[in-house]
Structure 1
Amino acid sequence: MSAAILPLPGADQPDENRGPQIAGAVVSTTLAALVVFCARMYVRLRMIRSIGIDDYVMLAAMLLSLVGMGIVIAQVHYGAGRHAAYLDPEVNRFGLKLNFASQPIYLWAIPIVKLSVGFFLLRISPSVYYKRILQGVMTFLMAYTFVSLMTLMLQCNNLAVLWDSRIQTTCWSQSTVQGLSYANSTVNIVTDIFFALLPIPMLWNVKINARKKASLICILGLGVFACAAAIVKAAFISNYGKTGDFLWDSANLTIWIAVETNTGIIAACLPCIKPMFKTIFDSSLRYGSSRKRDTYNLHNYAHGTGTKGSKYLHSQTRTEIDARRVAVPNSLADNISEESILTQKPNGITKTTVVTIDRSVEESGETSGWHKDYPERVVEDRL
C-alpha cells in the first residue's frame, strides 16, 4: 500500500503574488524614515552642532531597518507573498531562510528606536524621578528583547527545519510560539504608549510658553502611530503558520513589522528637525515680506511738494526700521526659548543673556531717542 502524498501548502488556492505589495510597503516606509533621519542628522551636525547618544542609537536603528529592507526585497524575489505550491522547492526553502533572517533584525530594530527616544527624553527630563523611570523601562526593554531573541533561537533543536521541512527534529508547539509573539507585541504596545505619553506629565510644569509646550508634547507623542502599527501587526499573528504556507501567511506580518519600525523612526526624529522647519518657515515669511515691500514705490511719495511727501517717506522708513528692531529680538528669543528644552544641560538651571544690536540704525548714524523705547537686551531663565 503506497503512502499518501500530501498536497503542497496553497495548492487549493490560485497563484496570487503579494510580493510587489510587500516590497512597496517596506521600501516606501523605510525610505521615508531614511529621509527624516537624514534631516535629523543635518540639524544636529550643521544647525545645532550638537550630537548625542540618542542620535547614535537612532543611527543603529536606521541601519537595521535598511538591512531589513534589503532582506525583504531578496525575500520577495524568492517567493514571499506566494503559495509554496507554485514555487520551486529550492526557491521556497531559500525564501523561508530569508524570512527567518529578517526576524531578529526587526526584533532588535523596534526596541532600539525606543531606546533612542528614551535617551532623548533623559536629556530633557526636568527631574531625577523621571530619569529613574526612564532608565528602568529602558533596561527592562533591552533585557526583554534579549530574552525574546533567545526564544527565537531556541524554538527548535535544529533551526534549519524552519526552512527545510525534510529535516526531522522537535520544536515548540505553534500555540507556544504564537503566545510568545503576542507577549512581545503587548510589550511593544505598552512601551509605545509609555514613551508617547510620558512627555505630558514630564513637561507639564516646565516654565515655557504654553503654545510651545503643547506643540512639543504633541510632537513627542507621535509615537502613538507606531503603537497603532503594532496593534495592527498583532492582529495578524494568528495567521502565521496557520496553513503551513509560511511565505504566504507572513505577508501581512512582514509589512506591518516594517511599518511599525519605520513609523517609530519617523516619530522619534520629528522633534529633532523642528529647527529646520522653523528656519524654512521664517525664511519663507521674510521672502514674502521682502517681496511685499518691493511692491510699494516709495519714491513716488518723495516727489510730492512741500514737506508732506518727505514726511510720509520718513515715517514709512522709520516704521520699517521699527518692525525690524522688534521682530529680530522676538524671533531670536523664541528660537532660543524653544530649542533650550531640547539641548538643556543635565545639571541645574542656566541663565542665558542675549544681546541684540540693530546694525541698520547703527550704520545709518541715527541716535535719536525714538528707538530707545525698545529693549536692547533679552534675558530669559530656562531649564
Structure 2
Amino acid sequence: MASGTTLNVVNWIGAGLSTGVFAIRAWTRLFIVRSIGLDDFFMLLSLLASLAAAGLITTSVHYGMGSQTEGTILASKYSFLSGIPIMMAQGFGRIAFAFTLLSVMGTTPARQWFLYTIIAFQFIWLVVVLALSYGLCSPVSAFWDSAQVQAQECLVKYHNVVVDGWNYFETVWDACTDFSLALFPALILSSTNMQMRLKLGLIALMGLGVLTGICAIVKAVEYSLLFSNTENSNYAQATIFIWTVVQQYIVIIAASIPCCRAFFTKTDRTTVGNSNEPGAYSRGRITLKPRKAKHPPTRQIRPQASRTLIGDSDDEPLNMGMIHLSDVSTGIPHFPR
C-alpha cells in the first residue's frame, strides 16, 4: 500500500510528462506537419480532464486520503468526485488514439468499421459508467457523508452493483479495448515492406497501449481488495489511485508519442504539405497551409514519394508526424487493400 504523499508525487510527475508530450505533439501537428484533427481535439480534452482529476486527488490527499488515520468527509468527497474526470480522461484518450489510427490506417472498410465501433462504444461506455457510479444514490452526497440516512443503503447498493459486478466487466472491457488498439497497428504494419528497423520501432511506439491494459487489470485487483481491508481502507485507497492515474497518463503518452516523431527527426524543418489542398477535410483531419521554407532543400525529392508513404494519398503518416521521408530507403511502402 502507498501513502497519500506517494500518490501526489506519482500523480504530478505523470501530469507533467503528459503535458510535455502533448505540447510536443501539438507543436508537431501545427508547425511541422501542418495537419490537425479530431484525435488532437479529444487528446486535449483527455489532458484537461486528467489535470482536473489531479487537482481533485491532491485536494483529497490534503484532507486525509491515503493517511493512516480515518478518512474525513472532504477526503471522501473529493476522491469520489475525481472519478468523473478520470473516466473522461481515459475514454477521450482511447477515442483520440482510435481517430489517429483511422486517419493513418483506415484504408479499408473493415478497418474503418472496427475503429468506428471502438469510438462509438467508448462514448456509450462513458455514459454508462458515469450513470452507474454516480446515479445509484440520491442525494449523491450520501456516498461520502456517512451521517446521512441513505448512506448505508447507498454503500450496500454501490458494493453490489459496482464492486461485485460492474468492476469486473469494466476491467475486461478496458483491457480488451487497450490491447485491441495496441495490437491493431502491429497487424497492419507487419505486412508492409518498410525497413525492419522502422517497422519494429513503429510497432513498439504504437503498441504502448498494452501497458494501460495491464494497469486496468492490476487496478481491478486492488479495487476488490479495498473492501476486504476495512480496517485501513482510507490508506489503501492511495494504491488504487496510483494505478488509476498511471493508467490515464499512459493513455495520453502512448497515444501521443507516435505523433511526435517528426519533431525529433532531422534538423531540416521544411514543411512538406499534404496532398490535399489547404483547408481540406479528410477522415477527421484538416490540412493547414504549408509554411514557406526559409532555406529551400538542396536535394530533389521525388513527388510521388512525398505523397504516398502508407495507404492513400490522403492518409500520409508524414502529415501525422510519424514517418519521415528519410526513413524509407527503397520503394513506396503501402498497406495491402
Structure 2 gap ranges (5+): 270-296, 317-328
1:203-249 deviations in whole A, cap 9, x for unaligned?
A: 33345444323322221111112222222212201133431755323
**What CA RMSD, in Å, does the superposition of the two structures yield over aligned residues?**
3.0
Quote the offset at 1:94 in angstroms: 0.9
Tell me how far apart the structure 2 counterparts of residues 263 and 153 of structure 1 sit (CA, whole Å): 25
TM-score by length of 2: 0.76
2:18 and 2:253 in contact (8 A); partners too:
yes
Q: Secondary structure at the match of 2:147?
A: coil
Equivalent runs, 1:254-273 vs 2, <5 Å = 254-273=241-260
Q: Tell whether the 8 Å contact from 1:17 to 1:81 is kept in structure 2 after alignment.
A: yes
Q: Is the 8 A contact 1:124 1:344 kept in 2?
A: no
Which residue number corresponds to residue 188 of structure 2? 202
Q: Any idea what SS the aligned residue of 1:236 has?
A: helix
Deviation at 1:253, TM superposition (A): 1.2
Q: Within 5 A, what are the aligned runs for 1:125-274?
A: 125=105, 126-169=107-150, 170-171=153-154, 172=157, 174-178=159-163, 179-242=165-228, 243=230, 246-274=233-261
**Counterpart in 2 of 1:71?**
56
1:191: how far off?
0.5
Whether the aligned pair in 2 keeps the contact of 1:223 and 1:268 (CA below 8 Å) is yes
SS at match of 1:192: helix
2:47 aligned counterpart, secondary structure? helix
Residue type at the aligned position of 1:274: R
Aligned to 1:121: 101
Q: Which moved more, 1:69-78 or 1:247-256?
A: 247-256
Q: Separation in 2 of the partners of 1:168 and 1:143?
A: 32
Secondary structure of residue in 2 paired with 1:279: coil
Give the length in aligned residue pairs: 286
What residue identity is the alignment partner of 2:255?
A
The structure-2 alpha-carbon separation of the partners of 1:101 and 1:173, relative to structure 1 and needing over 3 Å to count, comes to closer
Aligned position for 1:279: 266
- Any residues of structure 2 matched to 1:292-331 within 5 Å, and which? 329=299
Give the match's secondary structure for 2:34. coil
Q: Does the aligned pair in 1 maintain the 2:2–2:239 contact within 8 Å?
A: no
> Judging changes above 3 Å, is the alpha-carbon distance between structure 1 residues 173 and 212 closer, same or farther for their aligned structure 2 residues?
closer
Q: What residue in structure 2 maps to residue 42 of structure 1?
A: 27
Unaligned runs of 5+ in 1: 1-15, 284-326, 348-377
Distance 1:264 1:343 in 2: 27
Are the counterparts in 2 of residues 83 and 247 from structure 1 also a CA contact under 8 Å? yes
Letter in 2 for 1:185: T
Which one-letter code corresponds to 1:216 in the other structure?
A: L
Which residues in structure 2 correspond to 1:351-366 (within 5 Å)?
none
TM-score w.r.t. structure 1 length?
0.68
Match of 2:90 in 1: 110
Bigger mean CA offset, 189-198 vs 177-186: 177-186
Q: Distance in 2 between matches of 1:338 and 1:222?
A: 28
2:106 equivalent to 1:82: no
Aligned identity (percent) is 27
Distance 1:274 1:191 in 2: 24
Matched residues in 1 for 2:77 and 2:311: separation?
43
**Which amino acid counterpart does residue 130 of structure 1 have in structure 2?**
R
Does residue 18 of structure 2 align to residue 33 of structure 1?
A: yes
CA distance in 2, matches of 1:216, 1:167: 54
Q: Which has the larger radius of gyration?
A: 1
